Amino acid sequence: MAQSDIPSHRRNSYFAIVLAGGLLIAAALHLWSQRYYARFIPVPLSLVSWVDEDTWLLPASQAAAPMGVFDFGGGDITTEAGLRATLDRIQELSPTKVVDGMSDYTDITFEKWVQEVQAKPFFCTDATQLFILAAWRQGLMAREWHLLPAGWPGGQGHSVAEFYNPSTGSWQTVDAQHGSIARNAGDGHILALSELLTRYYREGRESITFDYGPGRDTEAGAGRGRMTEWYFFDNNLLRTPVLQLRQATWFASVKRRWGMSGHFVIGYPIVTNGWTHHPQVWLTKMSALVAVVASMIIVVVLISVARGRRDIAAPPADTT
Q: What is the pLDDT of residues 145-190, one digit of tens each?
A: 999 999 999 889 999 999 999 999 999 999 999 999 999 999 999 9
pLDDT confidence tier of residue 214, bands split at 50, 70 and 90: confident
Residue 276 clears pLDDT 80, i.e. is over it: yes
pLDDT confidence tier of residue 288, bands split at 50, 70 and 90: very high
What tens digit of pLDDT does each residue of 21-32 get?
999 999 999 999
Share of the chain above pLDDT 70, in %: 89
The mean predicted confidence, pLDDT, of the chain is 90
Region 277-300: what's the mean pLDDT?
97
CB burial of 223-240 (b: ≥16 within 10 Å; e: otherwise) equals ebeebbbebbeebebbbb
CB 175 within 8 A of CB 228: yes
pLDDT at 216: 65
Listed by start position, the domains of the chain span 6-34+284-313, 41-276
- For residues 223 and 57, the model is more confident at 57
pLDDT confidence tier of residue 196, bands split at 50, 70 and 90: very high
CB 62 within 8 A of CB 262: yes
What tens digit of pLDDT does each residue of 303-313 get?
988 887 666 55
Region 209-235: what's the mean pLDDT?
78
Q: What is the pTM of this model?
A: 0.88
pLDDT at 219: 46
CB 240 within 8 A of CB 15: no
DSSP 129-180: HHHHHHHHHTT--EEEEEE--TT--TT-SEEEEEEEETTTTEEEEEETTTTE
CB 277 within 8 A of CB 314: no
pLDDT at 107: 92
What tens digit of pLDDT does each residue of 56-87 get?
999 999 999 999 999 999 999 999 999 999 99
pLDDT confidence tier of residue 122, bands split at 50, 70 and 90: confident
